[in-house]
Structure 1
Amino acid sequence: MELKELTDLLRECAGVDEGVDLDGDVLDTPFDELGYDSLAVLQVTGVIERDHRIQLSDDTVAEATTPRLLLEFINEQLGAASAVRAA
């Protein structure tokens, strides 16, 4: 998953703060500085889990305080799921 897909989902699921440019360099910006609380991030990860048939633990989601960290966790699970499906 790329940053563009994640930011699109953030916009769709939780909206966007007027003062935030999600098209900018936001990979290492904490979600709370982007205007997203933990519930918004959980909502987005729920959509990702459903759409990509992966599972992220609540602890993992809580540790993902920035888009970069969340993408790392998501892509790790996507890779694992892909390997299982290929086997």
Structure 2
Amino acid sequence: MSAHGVTALSIDEFTRILRESAGEDEAVDLNGDVADLLFTDLGYDSLALLEVAGRIARDYGVDIPDEDLDGAETPRAFVDLVNSALSAD
């Protein structure tokens, strides 16, 4: 369990954080099944993902190294990184 008491991050929680941290492209519906869509197809670039990673670090106490973020090309991959770090704590 992390220092913040969270044991796992859900896709729904992640998309909420994504909206709050990096905004939402009006052409993209994050309410659907977006877990396996590429961030580039969802309208998010690496800067947006760094914003999200910073928010997750503050809110959940999980630091994701930049080189790991580079390989997380979908919401599911990003959530898996966070959850791996949470389970390691």
TM-score, length-scaled by structure 1: 0.89
TM-superposition CA deviations, 1:26-62 (whole Å, max 9, x none): 1110001101100000100111011111221101011
- Measured in 1, the distance between the counterparts of 2:23 and 2:64 equals 22
Q: Which has the higher contact order (CA 8 A, sep 6+)?
A: 2
Structure 2 unmatched runs, 5+:
1-8
Unmatched tracts of structure 1, length 5 or more: 82-87
Identity, % of aligned positions: 47
Which residues of 2 match residues 1-87 of structure 1 at below 5 A?
1-81=9-89
Distance in 1 (alpha carbons) for counterparts of 2:62 and 2:79? 13
**Cα root mean square deviation, aligned:** 0.7
| Greater C-alpha radius of gyration | 1
TM-score, reference length from structure 2: 0.87
Q: Which runs of 4+ in 1 moved over 6 A?
A: none
Aligned residue pair count = 81
